[in-house]
Amino acid sequence: MRSFHLPVWLGTASKPRARTFALLFACSALSRTLLITVVPLEAHRLLGDAQKVSLLYFGVSLAGLSGSLAIPWMVRQLNRRAVFSFGALAIAAGALILSGGSPPSLILGLALHVLGVACLEVTLNLYLMDHVPRTELGRFEPMRMFYAAGAWTLGPWLGVYLKTHAAPWAPFVLAAGFALLLLTYFWVLRLTENPAVAKMKQKPPNPLNYLPRFFGQPRLRLAWLLAVGRSAWWAMFFIYGPIYAVSSGLGEVVSGAIVSLGTAVIFLVPLWGWLAQRYGVRRLLLVSYGISGLATLGIAAASGVPWLGVAILLGAAVATGALDGAGNVPFLRAVHPPERPEMTTVFATYRDASQLAPPGLFALLLRLFELPAVFIAGGLGMLVLSYYARYLPKRL
């Protein structure tokens, strides 16, 4: 029998490949998707209406945005590994607090969840750019999305099903368990910073110093705007899709199934990757934003017929899923290596901005109009981004 020594295995595990990072992103997705439908429904139950849910997400996202800008300071004062570990622990703790079933626990748990996701987003992307060559990044994004497909497909429905048919606390405990599993896998990998691009510890820069540098670069500014739009549509889908289903009388379990079916379009990522290579990322984004915008407008038009509205919503999800096929390639191809930590931190705020702006806007709209106004605003926004996608480099 061939012997296999632990030090040899650890040495192999410490040499990350693109597949390694795809697995890390998949583990991260498992800890989040179980709650992605449960939390909006729980907020709707506790707060009473969609307008108050919008205000909740607006306030939590505002706090999350502030926390994201502090991540460079955390990385330099501690280290990248410690910030990643903090992020995973924050997600686990947030999930357990969310199981409390009260408005205070809802606010605190959701805030910890948002901060933890931001920490993982920044540190994982930094490790990714340290260890995966730029020439492979275009192939990595479809791989990352494909690996996460199972989590995004099963998680939204499973979380609601467990809460309804097993125990109210079940999805929260399971989500915390997956966050701890992610942390364990990360420490087994023993990822290190690439000395060619890692910076020595120094006084952390003021965020106001590198925000103008980021938004002063047209390609980075455009990449951020497109990422905000893509993520904002999904934020709208995850929050208001379940509320739309419950308000239409379709039930909570059906709402979870709708979100799972919508996210199942991740399985089409290889197709979107092939289309991007054949026709270009620029053309794929331009067309997909346009189709998503038109379909989202159609949801409002069909609001009186719930199942027709659901069908159109899923069609819009397919078009928006094509945007995930290109992922963050416009940013990854535009950022300069010496500026990676600061620029990645600013770029990662697209997640916070996409969670901040839509609930703020929708909270105002829902004071004056009914729920279909949310989908009208979302559709118009995607059409505007289709126009701006024309300014991506033609060679992309």
Tell me whether residue 196 is in a domain.
Answer: no
How far apart are the C-alpha atoms of 95 and 299, rounded to whole Å?
A: 32
In a domain, 274, yes or no: yes
Q: How far is CA 352 from CA 117, 121, 334, 360, 370, in A?
A: 10, 11, 21, 12, 25
- CA gap 195, 390 in Å, rounded: 37
User: CA 77 → CA 74, 99, 199, distances in Å?
Assistant: 5, 32, 12
Number of domains in the chain: 1
In a domain, 47, yes or no: yes
- 169: helix, coil or strand? coil
In a domain, 115, yes or no: yes
Q: Are 22 and 76 in contact (CB under 8 A)?
A: no
Looking at the predicted structure, is the pLDDT value of residue 374 above 70? yes
Q: Is residue 210 part of a domain?
A: no
Q: Which residues of 37-64 are buried (b: 16+ CB within 10 A; e: fewer)?
A: bbbbbbbbeebeebbbbbbbbbbbbbbb
Per-residue CA distances from 271 to 38, 282, 323, 330 (Å): 30, 16, 12, 19
Domain at 296, CATH number: 1.20.1250.20
Confidence of residue 322 (pLDDT cuts 50, 70, 90): confident
Asked, for residue 206, whether it belongs to a domain, the answer is no
Range with lowest mean pLDDT among 51-55, 178-182, 276-280: 276-280
Q: Is residue 76 part of a domain?
A: yes
For the CA atoms of the chain, what is the radius of gyration? 20
What residue numbers bound the domain in which 300 lies? Answer: 6-189+217-391
Tokens of 128: 């990714």
For 100-139, write each residue's pLDDT tens digit: 888 899 999 998 998 898 888 888 877 877 776 666 666 6
pLDDT, tens digit, for every residue of 215-238?
888 888 898 999 999 989 998 999
Question: Do the Cβ atoms of 90 and 384 come closer than 8 Å?
Answer: no
Contact between 275 and 306 (Cβ < 8 Å): no
Q: Is 111 helix (H, G, I), strand (E, B) or coil?
A: helix
Mapped onto helix, strand or coil, the DSSP state of residue 342 is: helix
Task: Look up the pTM and report it.
Answer: 0.76
Which letter does DSSP use for residue 108 in this model?
H
Residue 246: inside a domain, yes or no? yes
